[in-house]
């Protein structure tokens, strides 16, 4: 989770200021995601890029999944672990289920849009063909602090 927090705090290339600081030109909410392979090696990272790219699907989790799939040359990410600083939304929860991610670890809970137990529980829906193991609230205080700093 500490690596995901580092990713969340990083800036888009050329920005030159700390994420969430006054003058941050990206405008993207600082959420970081790291995808680890079955052997524990980091495969890919993602940070929210919706504002920077104009892409509504450019959430940290989706970007990390896309990059890891491209690296591996396949969409199935069996045995992989996704670590993200904020509870995934419905889109991201659905994407990680469809990608067959084995384990999800997340930091702060998201009561407004969270789809891993807060508002919905997409990843544990027994009607789906894949359900990852979930560990929520890991370094939640640190993850929430990063978000609070951004929204000041």
59 is in an annotated binding site: yes
Quick one: DSSP state of residue 38? Answer: T
130 is in an annotated binding site: no
Using the structure block, give the residue that is written with the tokens 């609070």.
148
Asked whether the beta carbons of 103 and 132 are under 8 A apart, the reply is: yes
Which residues, including other chains, have CB under 8 Å from residue 27's CB and lie 6 or more apart? Answer: 51, 52
Q: Which of 6, 18, 49, 61 is catalytic?
A: 61
Active site residue 87: no
> Phi then psi for 36, rounded to 5 degrees?
-105, 140
92 is in an annotated binding site: yes
Residues belonging to the binding site are 59, 89, 92
Residues belonging to the binding site for Zn(2+) are 59, 89, 92
Q: Which residues are catalytic?
A: 61
């Amino acid at each position: 989770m500490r690596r995901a927090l580092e990713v969340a705090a990083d800036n888009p290339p050329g920005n030159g200021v700390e994420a969430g600081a006054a003058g941050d030109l990206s405008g993207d909410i600082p959420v970081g995601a790291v995808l680890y392979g079955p052997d524990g090696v980091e495969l890919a990272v993602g940070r929210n890029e919706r504002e920077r790219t104009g892409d509504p699907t450019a959430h940290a989790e989706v970007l990390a999944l896309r990059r890891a799939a491209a690296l591996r040359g396949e969409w199935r990410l069996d045995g992989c672990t996704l670590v993200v600083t904020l509870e995934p939304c419905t889109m991201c929860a659905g994407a990680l289920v469809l990608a067959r991610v084995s384990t999800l670890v997340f930091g702060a809970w998201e009561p407004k849009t969270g789809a891993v137990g807060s508002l919905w529980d997409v990843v544990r829906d027994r009607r789906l063909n894949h359900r990852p193991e979930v560990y929520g609230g890991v370094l939640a205080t640190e993850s929430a602090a990063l978000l609070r700093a951004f929204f000041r």
